[in-house]
Chains A and B, each alone.
Chain A
Amino acid sequence: MTETLVPSTAPAARRPLTSRRSVRIVGGLLLPLLILLVWQLSSTLGLVTASQLPPPASVWVAAVDLFERGQLTLYVAISTQRVLIGFAIGAALGLAAGALVGLSRAADIFFAPTLGAIRAVPSLAWVPLLIIWLKIGEESKITLIAIGAFFPVYTTVAQALRHVDRQLVEAGRAFGLRGVRLFGAVQLPAVIPSVISGLRLALAQAWLFLVAAELIAASMGLGFLLSDSGNNGRVDRILLAIILLALLGKLTDAILGVFEKWAIKKWA
């Protein structure tokens, strides 16, 4: 009680505990650690059989084993590469299509219904077609991932552009801006925050579509590890793949999150 009355306490001490960075990191790690503990306990207490749920240690052993064979690095690398390439292509196309549909009434009328229908197709429906058209090479997987990344970006960009403050656009026009210059000076900056949240959604979709692609038609990658281990009953490897997907998804999202913070500071 007396402490709060003393004005000379450090400003950091007066900030609520929950806004401190270290607290947030430690707090966020609590639940994963708890899950790990329960997992370990249920194994050691014999609540589940090792074939159903192997203990954390054997997942670690499986990871080391795969790493020593050189497969772990390869799988992680190939999956990440597919996601990044597919995401880049899909996001770029989504940005272009979103800009077109969001800025032009005519393009909106012409394209939006069709794109909306294509968007409604479940991801797995594309797989057989892509395999026949593009074989089981990289192209088919990257195409599927690009489809997955395209739609969140397209939708958010088109939506955001339609809702750019008309008064600002008019002011830009009144000061002689047209076309690309108007877009660069007014519309694009106005939608940057939405574009970035669209990109984050697209990245999550890219990982989703990666697994869809690799589960069905792949000889490498984390999705392949999942389906292959499923066939062999290797629950430890399945758990490993799931954990790796979680970590990679979170990591790439965090990188975009940093970019988002920077961009919002600069543009909003």
Chain B
Amino acid sequence: MSASPATRTTARPAAAVRTGEPTGTDAAYAVQFSGLGRTFAPSPGSRRRTRAATTTSVEVARPVLRDVSISVQPGEVLAILGTSGCGKSTLLRIAGGLDSPSAGSVRIDGSPVTDFDTRCAVGFQEPRLLPWRTVADNVALGLPRGTAREAGRARVAELLELVGLSAFADHRPASISGGMAQRASLARALARNPGVLLLDEPFGALDALTRLKMQDLLLDVHAAAPTTVLLVTHDVDEALQLADRIILLGQEAAPSGGSRPPGATIVQEITVPGTRPRDRGSAELAELRGRLLAGLGIDRHGDPRGVATGTSIPHFPY
């Protein structure tokens, strides 16, 4: 496992969440991005188009991410914020070995990420459930290989109960709502009991109330099995509620007189104060919210309230 001193050995309060867990990694791994960049080659279609046209700008490969360096500690929850299309999913896919970086590297627990790294579990932005399988069988797909039949069934039932889909265990994905499908997809990722949990906007399709419930659920699950979580979201409040740290991806402001290098990188990094679950109405969080929203290009419609950004409230790693 990790040699990092931050590996948490705290008591697991919500032990009911993982009764009789037979397999999977009990570890939480460190994830280290160093100088990561990703440039997408121009598609063959666009190249053909530009040959006919006079401009050559489309033919140039497009940098999406550049110089992303951050070290995520074992058991930490890192929220990745950014506007749509800025490369959040790309960053997550690279962390899980679903895509490869054009520059730099990602290491999990000190060793480079392999293709479809088995130390990770992915909750995709789309539910991606197999349409011919029942909800329960889809969740079972996430179970680590070699899980005993009975134990697997119990774990699936437990997870369905957690995400509130017990009554729909035998339904096909086509006959449940989008929000339910996304919860099933979350349950599938949780079933893996991974060392690194990669969640790509896991609550995006949920109605506001279910979203809050699912956020609390994720906190319970994390408290019970403190795995490392990389959570992509476009919801500032969600990030503040769930994360130990938040990074904001975006285009860096151009230096005076210079030109702005293309590709998104980390433009803000915020350590969220306070232990979870956090008071959703806290004034200090409101201040951070304002800063993050400003980073996302949203006018906060108000003045900063003078809350110090350096804080005395304990924060991760506690």
| Residues of chain A having any CB pair with chain B under 8 Å | 167-168, 170-177, 185-186, 189-190, 192, 266-268
Among the stretches B29-37, B71-79, B127-135, B161-169, the one at the interface with A is: B127-135
**A174–B116 contact, CB under 8 A?**
yes
* Residue of chain B at shortest CB distance from A186: B130
> Cα distance A88–B116 when bound, in Å?
38
Whether a CB of chain A sits under 8 angstroms from the CB of B251 is: no
For the complex with contacts A170-B98, A176-B118, 11 further pairs of A-B residues with Cβ separation under 8 Å are: A167-B124, A168-B130, A171-B130, A173-B98, A174-B96, A174-B116, A174-B120, A175-B121, A176-B116, A189-B132, A268-B131
* Residue of chain B at shortest CB distance from A169: B128
**A189–B130 contact, CB under 8 A?**
yes
**B122–A174 contact, CB under 8 A?**
yes
Chain B nearest CB from A194 CB (Å) reads 13
* Residue of chain A at shortest CB distance from B142: A175
Whether a CB of chain A sits under 8 angstroms from the CB of B206 is: no
Chain A nearest CB from B187 CB (Å) reads 12
> Cα distance A49–B279 when bound, in Å?
98
Whether a CB of chain A sits under 8 angstroms from the CB of B88 is: no
Whether a CB of chain A sits under 8 angstroms from the CB of B188 is: yes
Whether a CB of chain A sits under 8 angstroms from the CB of B66 is: no
> Cα distance A192–B118 when bound, in Å?
29
**B124–A171 contact, CB under 8 A?**
yes
Q: Chain B residues near A174 (CB, 8 Å)? A: 96, 98, 116, 120-122, 124
Count, A-B residue pairs, CB within 8 A: 43
Most chain A CB within a 10 A radius of its CB, from B120, B124, B141: B141
Q: Chain A residues near B118 (CB, 8 Å)? A: 176
Q: Chain B residues near A266 (CB, 8 Å)? A: 132
> Cα distance A185–B141 when bound, in Å?
9
Total contacting residues, chain B, CB less than 8 A: 19
Q: Chain B residues near A170 (CB, 8 Å)? A: 98, 128
At the interface, is chain B mostly helix, strand, loop or mixed? Answer: loop
Chain A nearest CB from B137 CB (Å) reads 10
* Residue of chain A at shortest CB distance from B144: A176
**B192–A175 contact, CB under 8 A?**
yes
Chain B nearest CB from A225 CB (Å) reads 44
* Residue of chain A at shortest CB distance from B122: A174
**A185–B116 contact, CB under 8 A?**
no
Q: Chain B residues near A176 (CB, 8 Å)? A: 116, 118, 144-145
Q: Chain A residues near B145 (CB, 8 Å)? A: 176
* Residue of chain B at shortest CB distance from A165: B128
**B128–A167 contact, CB under 8 A?**
yes
Q: Chain A residues near B192 (CB, 8 Å)? A: 175
Q: Chain A residues near B170 (CB, 8 Å)? A: none
Whether a CB of chain A sits under 8 angstroms from the CB of B126 is: yes
Contacts A185-B141, A189-B132 given; does A175 touch B126 at CB 8 Å: no
Chain B nearest CB from A167 CB (Å) reads 5
Closest 7 CB pairs of A and B: A171-B128, A267-B132, A189-B132, A174-B122, A173-B116, A175-B141, A167-B128
Chain A nearest CB from B143 CB (Å) reads 9
Interface residues of B in 75-133 (CB under 8 A from A): 96, 98, 116, 118, 120-122, 124, 126, 128, 130-132
Chain A nearest CB from B138 CB (Å) reads 10
Contact of B130 among A173, A185, A192 (CB under 8 A): A185
* Residue of chain B at shortest CB distance from A167: B128
Most chain B CB within a 10 A radius of its CB, from A171, A172, A186, A268: A171
> Cα distance A8–B192 when bound, in Å?
52
**B128–A268 contact, CB under 8 A?**
no
Contact of B188 among A173, A175, A177 (CB under 8 A): A175
Most chain A CB within a 10 A radius of its CB, from B132, B142, B188: B132
Q: Chain B residues near A177 (CB, 8 Å)? A: 141
> Cα distance A170–B130 when bound, in Å?
12
Q: Chain B residues near A175 (CB, 8 Å)? A: 121, 141-142, 188, 192
**B124–A268 contact, CB under 8 A?**
no
> Cα distance A267–B141 when bound, in Å?
16
> Cα distance A4–B145 when bound, in Å?
58
Chain A nearest CB from B218 CB (Å) reads 19
Q: Chain A residues near B126 (CB, 8 Å)? A: 167
> Cα distance A192–B120 when bound, in Å?
31
Q: Please list 17 pairs of residues, one from A and one from B, whose beta carbons are closer than 8 Å in the complex, sorted by A's number.
A: A167-B124, A168-B128, A170-B98, A170-B128, A171-B122, A171-B130, A172-B130, A173-B116, A174-B96, A174-B120, A174-B121, A175-B142, A176-B116, A176-B144, A176-B145, A185-B130, A189-B132
